[in-house]
Amino acid sequence: MPSQLIRSPQDIADRQIAAWLFICAAVIFGMIILGGVTRLTNSGLSMVEWKPLMGIIPPLSQADWQILFSKYQQFPEYQKVNLGMTLSEFKPIFMYEYLHRVLGRFIGILFVLPFVYFYLTKRIRKGLTPKLLLMLLLGAGQGLLGWYMVMSGLVDNPRVSQYRLTAHLGNATIIYMVILWVAFDLVARRDNHQPTHLRSTANWITALIFVMILSGGLVAGTRAGYVYPTFPLMGDQFFPPELYMLQPAWLSAFEDLTTIQFNHRIIAYIIVTTISIFTVCALRAGVQGSVRKGVIGMCVMMGIQVSLGISTLLLHMPVPLAAAHQAGAIVLLSFSLYVTHTLRRAVPKHDALDNQHSETTVGQHANALKGS
């Protein structure tokens, strides 16, 4: 068997761990989308208690449902928003939030059990355990942050804090990014002949997309998307008159609906421009193989995401489109992260050419010696 096909036990273990991490990332992706649907259907405040262990048991009888509904009726969302809601109307919103919490617990199990197995069987390579423990810590914090977010809506104003919602979304996205990055580390190989001067721009694109996702959290938390359902102008102007009217002005970026939507659009324009220029430059620079596929995939996904965003805005936030728009943001981030990671591991063109030249020179000297 050719030597390049022979894999060491550690290589095999690395691929097993990478497969596990990719599965975790896929489920977290689903968790982010389900969280978005929970918010879009106004279901997030339907469970008014946090029971990390017993909360996994669903209502099994009509009496169980009635108890849960009675507890919900004691809180402001029912009294100020859903007064008169029937039990049959309560059940769907409860189930969205219930499934969201159960999926969170499932992710915990999906991570912890394989981690213990890989650790006890000594399959985890040196230096990887701290990274896995960081993921575990971030995941535990995500559960606490989720309940902290829900608590903000169980008071006089039955709306969760946009700050806590954005933090919850941001932490979920960070967990997703960390898991993907480590999984890429385990399976990626150094890619020769790549123009590595593109690395810094790729880093900035990933950072911009992350900021865009946080901006989307503010839009969702304040319902700013409903203020100006027009495009490309906001009403009949590009710069609406209400921009940055709060005092102090910087507070408008977080609490003024017009400014929040405007900022979300501006970040989108910056990302579209940057990715478009980056794609042209990367293709002209001769990116190859996996980098080329990643760059093209990122550019295509950017176009899809823009279309989803505009459609969601113009059609007044229909749940399927809005959920697809959120999913598109994570897919776009995934492409960007892949391109960034691959360029980071790439061997610069000149280094690869120097190595090739050196190997050729050595070969020529060897042949000359044989001839003599």
Domain ranges of the chain: 8-187, 193-372
Say if CB 329 and CB 305 are below 8 A apart: yes
How long a stretch of residues is the chain? 372
d(CA 73, CA 86): 10
Least confident range of 52-61, 137-146, 248-257: 52-61
pLDDT greater than 70 at residue 372: no
Q: What is the pLDDT, as a whole number, of residue 345?
A: 82
Query: Which is higher by pLDDT, 359 or 145?
Result: 145
The confidence score (pLDDT) of residue 71 equals 95
pLDDT digits (tens, 9 = 90+) for 58-117: 899 999 999 999 999 999 999 999 999 999 999 999 999 999 999 999 999 999 999 999
Write the pLDDT tens digit of every residue in 2-19.
445 567 888 899 999 999
Phi, psi of 187 (to 5 degrees): -115, -15
Other beta carbons within 10 angstroms of residue 120's beta carbon come to: 9
Query: Around 209, how many Cα atoms within 13 Å sit in the side-chain half-sphere?
Result: 30
User: In sequence order, which residues have a C-beta less than 8 Å from that of residue 355 and are 6 or more positions away?
Assistant: 347
